[in-house]
Structure 1
């Protein structure tokens, strides 16, 4: 795929979500410091998990971008360019369980499926799906 001149649209993790994850690190570290050995282990594992998420948000804040010739998906492993020809389907998967509704943007690109929540994109997955469908050639 040729280089994308510049993204026409991009969606990034909201800074508020990153701050909440960082607060999770602080809370877990605090619990680890005041607890017994088991609590130290569990809170330490949770703190490391939150720290990885904060790291990802800081170093790859833009999760999805769209240019003239396709999509750019970004994560910890780097950027992946997906041409429009490789995109088989764009849809929103909405599920209701235990009184909560989960909505994920699903981009099916052959062998890969990319999933994004509103916490990844900073706006409604329905709005992002609509924008992608409008921009898709």
Structure 2
């Protein structure tokens, strides 16, 4: 009889957002090229292009922002690094919801006591509450 491997749950940046960042980079570069006679416009467009390219590069290098298996979690840390967090080090998984004016934001918080990992819906590709519920049930095995 063979051992069946435990399932691995993965949450990643949606491909549509990566495409949007790449398109934004191209648009900002085109704006800079078409406005070479306006130095301030070129600086602003170049800055925006660099930022959009950096965000796109991060999505290419580390598309999976969070994964879970029987041993624990793997979370993106820094620009594109990862950190493995065993389940016994996870103290709390919760969703922090903030409302400001008409905007509502949610962040998934994974607290290890020493480090708090914050992930948004844009990092995970699905609502934070859904991920928190899946992690809690996966952790407890129910």
Q: Offset at 1:6?
A: 6.6
Equivalent residue in structure 1 for 2:60, among 58, 61, 66: 58
* 8 Å contact from structure 2 (residues 121, 127) kept in 1: yes
Structure 1 stretches of 4+ moved >4 Å: none
Runs of 5+ consecutive residues of structure 2 not aligned to the other structure: none
Paired residue for 1:30? Answer: 30
CA distance in 2, matches of 1:120, 1:7: 21
Q: Offset at 1:74?
A: 2.4
Find the structure with the greater CA-based Rg.
2
Note the 1:25-104 alignment, pairs <5 A: 25-35=25-35, 36-75=38-77, 76-104=79-107
Query: Normalising by the residue count of structure 1, what TM-score does the alignment of the two structures yield?
Result: 0.89
For these two proteins, the number of residue pairs brought into alignment is 133
RMSD: 1.6
Query: Normalising by the residue count of structure 2, what TM-score does the alignment of the two structures yield?
Result: 0.86
Runs of 5+ consecutive residues of structure 1 not aligned to the other structure: none
Q: Offset at 1:47?
A: 0.7
